[in-house]
Amino acid sequence: MKRWLAFSPLIVLAALAALFAGYALKRDPHVQPHALVGKPMPAVSLPDLDSGRPAPIRAPGDGPVLVNFFASWCAPCEVEHPQLMALKAQGVKIVGVAYKDAPANTQAFLGRLGDPFAEHRVDRDGRAGLEFGVTGVPETYLVGSDGMILAKHTGPLTPDAAEDLLKQAR
């Protein structure tokens, strides 16, 4: 009986390892939650980066727009930045939301890499990110002219991912 008690921690540990390994093997890391796709964009107002005055993230009726959550401290955001600049050159309207970032750092980031955004909002406390369901930056949402979220892309935008978003906007 005492021998069984001596091995019980190892047995529990082995059972937990099997449980977690089974979950990890069945989980597809490419599947992202898209809870808001097909639903109205959250009605959130955030401070403008330059003026500090609260403004909605997007006004209805403006046509399709990309809402991009980014941060100056985010390395993948720097990787996706050239793609955002290319989208701006194509005439795509992008609203940038600086997620959990200081406005001075955001301005320095945009000054160094270029500014692809038609509008800038600051989400210092991450409240808007919670409303949108942001799991990490960068994340980009395609919002239709009716205010409905048409698509979500998690991670840095690639040329292929950007093209897929633009196709859905048409």
pTM: 0.79
**Cβ atoms of residues 168 and 148 within 8 Å:** no
What is the block-wise mean pLDDT of the chain (170 residues), using blocks of 10 residues?
69 69 54 73 93 84 88 97 96 95 97 96 94 93 92 94 88
> E-assigned strands of 54-148?
54-56, 65-70, 94-99, 119-123, 139-143
CATH number belonging to domain 45-169: 3.40.30.10
Query: Which two structure tokens, joined as six digits, stand for 37?
Result: 């796709």
End-to-end CA distance of the chain: 71
State residue 55's pLDDT score. Answer: 92
Query: Which two structure tokens, joined as six digits, stand for 134?
Result: 């942001």
Look at the block and give the residue holding tokens 């597809």. 28
Q: What are the Cα distances from residue 3, in Å, to 6, 48, 135?
A: 5, 67, 46
Q: How far is the C-alpha of 34 from the C-alpha of 130, rounded, in Å? A: 13
Q: Is 61 left (phi over 0), alpha (psi -120 to 50) or beta?
A: left
State residue 19's pLDDT score. Answer: 60
